[in-house]
Chain A
């Protein structure tokens, strides 16, 4: 089953390399969003806690602009029926999830790099905590974004509904991740942040389980 999903992932990856649709859209969106923030700040010095929040604002809206592609492109090309014939629903979901995971990790690493270059106040004191919360948060973001993308690809409205449907689902994850980013900026120890880390881990596990259980119903027409 895993080799099949890996084949699906490779198919998405090579078609992405050919068109560079999602990558271009994401890259431009990151540049636009960060420059809007920089323009609105101007010469003022903003506090480090504010940059922690703005970091996740950029991540959320960038994810919303690009991650729906995984399923919407199948519907647009009319290839979803073929996919239903050759692979089981869980295989399809795994493949799409892998692709979105790679996309999210690349995108968020770029955002984090740009942030630490452009914002003087964005200095991470506890790097290990930041890395842990970053990885766990990215996994959660990719899972929720993938299952919601599957829902909206089957619904009529493609682009506009995506952020609307995702925001309530992602809200617990984003709030906790903002808190964890603030902790790592302040240099809080691992011990103090373990409650928040536990929340993010349980969010990831619950979302993954619920997505695999419910994807069958979305995928089978």
Chain B
């Protein structure tokens, strides 16, 4: 009963966020609570923030969880943690692909091209590469313990390189992405797209969307984790005969 009420709550929350994010009008001077402010240079494109940012956020959270469970596995040598880490990474790569695609489609309309090696685009590309390499490594190893150990080690090594992307990218490339750090802090002319601010009701919908997607992620992660456990049990039963 408790889990059902959670599911209904999540359905209502995500339903509201979807309707609000897509249908609420953008006007020059917002008066009513359901109106979003007009941002010069973004216009209707600004609405992607309610769906694109949560996917990017979840791909990072999944990577973080996968790394934490990898560390736990190396400490305790319990295959349960490996299953948890694997379930997180499976969801992580899905959300990472979603964030890349939604971002690229948005970039086509906002910047004129699907891909322009903006710092954020390069970072998400690197994250995609890390996930891809991680799954390639896992699929190449037969033994369960060895697979868990080596993939845990690789996840940790990949994780320590992540801070570099945050510091290097803005130095090397010019940021076009909303919310980027300006290359030269002394520069007076910052374009309104990069320096944009959300008003209160936009922030409300944004954070509701973030909360909704995060709950959805943990629910999906739980199902994925259970399915891995059940699959292992079934395989063991099949072997026993």
Contact = CB atoms under 8 A, between A and B. Distances in A.
Interface of A: 147-148, 151, 154-157, 161, 164-165, 167-169, 171-172, 175-176, 179, 195-196, 199, 203, 206-207, 210-211, 214, 217-218, 221
A172 B157 contact: no
A217 B129 contact: no
Nearest to A156: B140
B33 interface: no
Given A168-B161, A214-B153, 14 more contacts: A154-B146, A155-B137, A156-B141, A164-B132, A164-B133, A165-B133, A168-B133, A169-B161, A171-B129, A172-B168, A207-B157, A217-B149, A217-B153, A218-B150
B136 interface: yes
Contact of A175 (B146, B149, B153, B168): B168
Q: Which 3 residue pairs spanning A and B have beta carbons closest together?
A: A172-B164, A157-B140, A168-B129
B94 interface: no
Nearest to B167: A199
25 contacts: A147-B157, A148-B157, A151-B137, A151-B150, A151-B154, A154-B146, A154-B150, A155-B150, A161-B136, A164-B132, A164-B133, A165-B136, A165-B154, A167-B129, A167-B133, A168-B129, A168-B130, A169-B158, A176-B164, A176-B172, A203-B161, A207-B160, A214-B157, A217-B149, A217-B153
A171 B160 CA distance: 12
Interface of A is mostly: helix
B222 to A, nearest CB: 28
Contacts of A155: 137, 140-141, 146, 150
Q: What class of interface size applies to chain B in its complex with A? A: 20 to 34
A153 B147 CA distance: 13
Interface string B117-156: 0000000001001101100110011100010011011101
Nearest to A176: B168
A179 to B, nearest CB: 6
Nearest to B136: A164
B171 interface: yes
Given A171-B126, A217-B74, A217-B149, A196 B171 contact: yes
Contacts of B150: 151, 154-155, 218
A32 to B, nearest CB: 25
A167 B128 CA distance: 12
Given A168-B130, A169-B158, A218-B150, A199 B140 contact: no
Contacts of A179: 171-172
Interface in B96-130: 126, 129-130
